[in-house]
Structure 1
Amino acid sequence: MTATTVRSRAVSASPATGRRGMRPQKVLLTALLTVLAVLTAVVFILPALWMFLGSLRPGNQVIESVSPLGWHTLVPSSWTLDNYAALFGELRFGRSMANSLLVAFASVLLGLLISVPAAYALSVLRFRGREAVFAFLVVGFMIPFEAIAIPLAQFFTDWHLNNSYIGLILPGIGNGLAIFNLRQSFRGVPASLREAAFIDGASDLRIMMRIYVPLNVTTVINSALLIFLAQWSSYLWPLLLISNESTQVAPIAIARTFTDTQVNFGQMFGGTLLISVVPAVLLLFLQRFFARSIATSGEK
């Protein structure tokens, strides 16, 4: 065997040797990232798991089990469904959940009927004062709702809209952040598409529904979620406007687990968990549309 042959074999073998040397480092890095991901998941899951298991124990045992910390803090020593029976029994939490769903979905429907045309007008149409209207809109949704809730509730009471679904829905349909998101997304649509549609005889309404909305499905869904979550988690406005138990929403029903003498943490945990499940299921259902709309937008 000549020296040239030995040298060539050594050179040809060196990349494989380098790859074998790098493999343990990649395995170690993967293992560290996996452990980090698992720890992060545990940190986020533990509060929800504690809330779920706490709802399955007698309400007075939830806080008693916190000190000292141990397995009994998380795992109940006695299991019961009395908290859920009380929620759907004397507290009528089922009706409150139905009221929240009605208010939230009605607000989404009416809100999109307002937000989509408003965003289209602010992004596409040319009219005097358009930028001033947009600036007023931006300032409007930056003002905390709590700052105007009390005088607005007085107006609604004077208009006999208290204790009504209409009174709960109306403040949620004018979501400035949803209009802002849609407007910024609509501006990304090439103007040539609108011009070509105009040449074919399409109206602005048809252009908006057949071009702008399909190309911005992700933003439309995102705006719908903004409106839904704002109404679903609303507490102050229903508290100010609703005194009738038949039209109370879920967050107010949870507040009824507090009394002057005690707090039933088991019922509170159960109600809070049920309220959290609804948007979580909604997000899991809608994530397919996010991915599909991104892919179809890229193809178009």
Structure 2
Amino acid sequence: MPDPMLTRRRSRWSRPSMPLTVVTVLVSAIFVIPVLWLLAGSLRPGHEIFESLSPLSWDILIPSEVTLENYQAMLFGPFGRALVNSLIVCVISVAVGTVMCALAAYAVAVLKFPGRGIIFTVIVVGFMIPFEAVAIPLSQQFSSWGLANTITGLVLPGIGNGLAIFNLRQHFLSVPASYREAAKIDGASEPRIFTAIYWRLGGGALVNSALLIFLGQWGAFLWPLLVVSERDLQVAPVALAQTFGEHSSSFGQHFAGAVILSIIPALLMFILQKSFGGLSIASGEK
């Protein structure tokens, strides 16, 4: 028979604390309200965005007139072309970068060779250094190689993601060494072992690394600004910044561009969220 005192104590701890709930709601509102204001502003005429702030009321979140003109102006203008450029750069970077990072992670996690620890240390230190610290000399080097104003110049710095290599290395270390030993006994080569075992067991680690590469390229601003001067090759974050005029700006269009830049990675995260629950290598179970 359960102890009544223990039952009351458990029920007391299971009840949510009212002050904590209130604090949670307030903190959530602090983060949610600006997002709702951004979304509402993108659906209303530009001149109404700041007019709705005085007097302060719920009108800032409820457009008096819903219009898609801001989105049409952005998507069918220079920003739309830049958005396509960003998608091309991200797709190429993810496709090439995921394979390159997986190969590098396989080398430093599985293969035995002199200096492996030093190479891994350089990789870890490399992704801890801010890219802004090396962006200017790197852009000068790319210009001397003739890679300025090219898709290749935009893609190359993003395919070697140190954090993605670190993430995949940690995952590959969890793969039992007996899998590789059994494959070698059967006569499998190293490329065969990599593709048939480690790549197939990559699961959520590969998806996570691909997202790291995608997000790094999607939000890149300084590097495209340095390496690309032609308007036709500009990417979306830079194109959005260039829509701000010196004397006049359409804040409705700016808000629409910001929503578009934010919604694409959010949708990608929502679609791929089920892939984050990786396979337990040791047990072979979810």
TM-score between both structures, scaled by the size of structure 1? 0.85
Map residues 1-300 of structure 1 onto 2, 5 A cutoff.
Answer: 25=12, 28-29=15-16, 41-89=28-76, 91-291=77-277, 293-294=278-279, 298-299=283-284
1:244-286 CA deviation, whole Å, 9 max, x = no partner?
2211111012112201113322111101111111111111111
Paired letter, 1:198: K
Kindly indicate which of the two structures has a greater share of residues assigned to helix: 1
What's the % identity of the aligned pairs? 49
Paired letter, 2:41: G
Whole-Å Cα distance in 2 between the matches of residues 241 and 136 of structure 1? 25
User: Who is 1:5 aligned against?
Assistant: none
Greater Cα shift, 216-225 or 152-161: 152-161
Whole-Å Cα distance in 2 between the matches of residues 122 and 296 of structure 1? 19
Distance of aligned partners of 1:27 and 1:146 in 2 relative to their CA distance in 1, 3 Å threshold: closer
Distance of aligned partners of 1:28 and 1:139 in 2 relative to their CA distance in 1, 3 Å threshold: closer
Whole-Å Cα distance in 2 between the matches of residues 248 and 98 of structure 1? 10
Cα distance, 1:298 vs. partner? 4.4
Whole-Å Cα distance in 2 between the matches of residues 153 and 44 of structure 1? 36
Is the contact made by 1:55 and 1:267 (CA closer than 8 Å) also made in structure 2? Answer: yes
RMSD in angstroms over aligned alpha carbons?
Answer: 2.5
Distance of aligned partners of 1:18 and 1:168 in 2 relative to their CA distance in 1, 3 Å threshold: closer
Distance of aligned partners of 1:125 and 1:52 in 2 relative to their CA distance in 1, 3 Å threshold: same
> Residue 16 of structure 2: SS of its match in structure 1?
helix
List runs of 5+ in structure 2 lacking aligned partners. Answer: none
Cα distance, 1:106 vs. partner? 0.5
Distance of aligned partners of 1:39 and 1:297 in 2 relative to their CA distance in 1, 3 Å threshold: farther
Is the contact made by 1:215 and 1:297 (CA closer than 8 Å) also made in structure 2? Answer: no
List runs of 5+ in structure 1 lacking aligned partners. Answer: 1-11
Cα distance, 1:85 vs. partner? 2.4
Distance of aligned partners of 1:297 and 1:43 in 2 relative to their CA distance in 1, 3 Å threshold: farther
